[in-house]
Structure 1
Amino acid sequence: MTPILSKSAAAELVVAARIRKGLTWTAIAEAIDAPPVWTTAALLGQHPLSPEQAAAVCSLLDLDGSVEESLRLQPSRGIDPALLSDPTIYRFNEALAVYGPALKELIHEEFGDGIMSAINFKVDIARRADPDGDRVVVTFDGKFLDYRW
């Protein structure tokens, strides 16, 4: 019996095929009718795709059934320690290290005792023109979950 392709191995095949085909992440997201940030995270191994989505991606990228199977699997979520050396991912960690405690205080002040869900959650990215250089706008949109005692 052939072992199941790991999520990371499938992600590498997806990235390579996407580049070879000259497709953007947004184009792939549009092909499966899903948000671009979610789609990119899923194809990099952080979310499972539905059978229909996995089949559509593999058809678009000319990838085989082993990749399709892997794309449908539940992931082990988290950050690979090697990725912490990537400057973009490091900056997100740095921003949350600096602003996380302030955001926590402001969430508690505005909503009460609870948390922002990362399960009932949307994330988006946009470009905003600025005279000093374009700005990256990241929006986290999570449901407030109050602690119940």
Structure 2
Amino acid sequence: MNKNNKIYLILIVIVILVIAGIYAYQSSIKEDPEEELLKCIAKNTDMLYLSKTCSHCQNQKKTLGEYFSLFKTIDCFYEIDKCKEADISGYPTWIINGKKYTGEKSIEELKQITGCECDITDETIKAKEECADDRSCINAIESSCSSNLTN
């Protein structure tokens, strides 16, 4: 192997090691707890009904901030038929784990309603991921979490 080929080979190995190091560092960084919490709340929210003309809805969007886009929403100004079909009469209306909640909700209220205060632990996150979309499995984890919080 000539000298130029050795230099190229060394450079390629260095580049690969740098890329692997960057990847390893990024995967070791934990998600922001607020982001993790809002993702959990969004995952447990079946639907959020809003209207573009509703000031309370605008406040709710501000409360959710940059994470608003994670939520499944229907704007009743544009999709009135879907809102009538779901028997939505006020905004915002949350459908969380199959139950209806009306009015603006704080992050604290949403944590309690969804049971997401438990999702901050790696163990609970892993358990919920193993449930996949099995709602009864998720509900069992959340109810055991809620009882642990009150004890």
TM-score normalised by structure 1 residue count: 0.24
Q: Structure 1 or 2: larger helix share? A: 2
Of structures 1 and 2, the larger Rg is shown by 2
Q: Structure 1 or 2: larger strand share? A: 1
